[in-house]
Amino acid sequence: MKYKNFFEVGDKLEIEFIDGYIENDKRLTSQLMEIISEDEYVVAMPIYKGRLINIPKGSNVNISYSIQNKGIYCFDAKVVYRNSGDVAYIKIKQINETKIKQRRNYYRLHVSNKISVYNKEDFVANGYTKDLSEGGLKFISDVKLDLNTVVICKLLIDDEELTIKSQVIRSNVYEKNLEQFEISLKFIELSKNIRDYIVAYIFRQQRILRQKGLI
């Protein structure tokens, strides 16, 4: 059967096991190596904490990927071949239609992470995030930032500090504390590596929330 996907060779994928082979909250990062046909693909064997995860033939998996300005897509697949040689990979066969999780807006993960904001090299403010997406974030701060100001934000995720050039698109008084401000930033310069890191983090947190029945 023919399916429509939007990824290209080299794009990052997230793998989630449907049949319980591996705990669902593990962050399994992979990469599309080859498009064989409209329903068969070669995918790099995923790595978790520096260790190769060998996926057995016959496993059922869910594949997720993100396309900038389009959203997050996913589909189910069956592992039909496994190669454990020098270049470890699996061949998967898609078994249902590709679904879109987010069409117009990025998924916003409600999460509280530390953030520092700079105007070029000058420190401006500290704060904590209210939500995060691959397109931007909202944070709470003691300092008001002017609309359209371009800043450098340093965001802490899993002990990794990400440096991202951003633009202030909203800056309002925080309704829960009138002495603070709720500020929305749009990422305007985002490397592929940082974007992939944020997307993988959001995927992982979504899986944890789904496992707990919270989404």
CATH hierarchy code of domain 114-199: 2.40.10.220
Over the chain, what HEC string results?
CCCCCCCCCCCEEEEEECCCCCCCCCCCEEEEEEECCCCEEEEECCEECCEECCCCCCCEEEEEEEECCCEEEEEEEEEEEEECCCCCEEEEEECCCCEECCCCCCCCECCCCEEEEEECCEEEEEEEEEEEECCEEEEEECCCCCCCCEEEEEEEECCEEEEEEEEEEEEEECCCCCCCEEEEEEEEECCHHHHHHHHHHHHHHHHHHHHCCCC
* Beta carbons of 32 and 7 less than 8 angstroms apart: yes
Phi-psi region of 95 (alpha: psi -120 to 50; beta: other; left: phi over 0): alpha
pLDDT on residue 19: 63
pLDDT in tens, 144-186: 999 889 999 999 998 899 999 999 998 989 888 989 999 999 9
Question: How far apart are the C-alpha atoms of 44 and 37, rounded to whole Å?
Answer: 17
Give how far Cα 9 sits from Cα of 13, 30, 139, 155, Å. Answer: 11, 12, 35, 29
For position 69, what pLDDT does the model report?
64
Structure tokens given for 36 = 């064989």
> Measured between alpha carbons, how far is 178 from 26 in angstroms, rounded to an integer?
39
d(CA 111, CA 79): 34
Residues 6+ apart with CB under 8 A from 97: 3, 75
CA angle (176, 179, 184) in 5-degree steps: 70
Please state the pTM of the whole predicted model.
0.55
- Predicted confidence at residue 5, as pLDDT, reads 92
Residues of the chain with CATH 2.30.110.10: 12-104
In the chain, list all ranges with CATH 2.40.10.220.
114-199
Q: Give pLDDT < 50 ranges for the chain.
A: 24-25, 103-104
CATH superfamily to which 12-104 belongs: Electron Transport, Fmn-binding Protein; Chain A (2.30.110.10)
- Residue 175: its pLDDT value, please? 85
Rounded Cα–Cα distance for residues 49 and 152 (Å) = 29
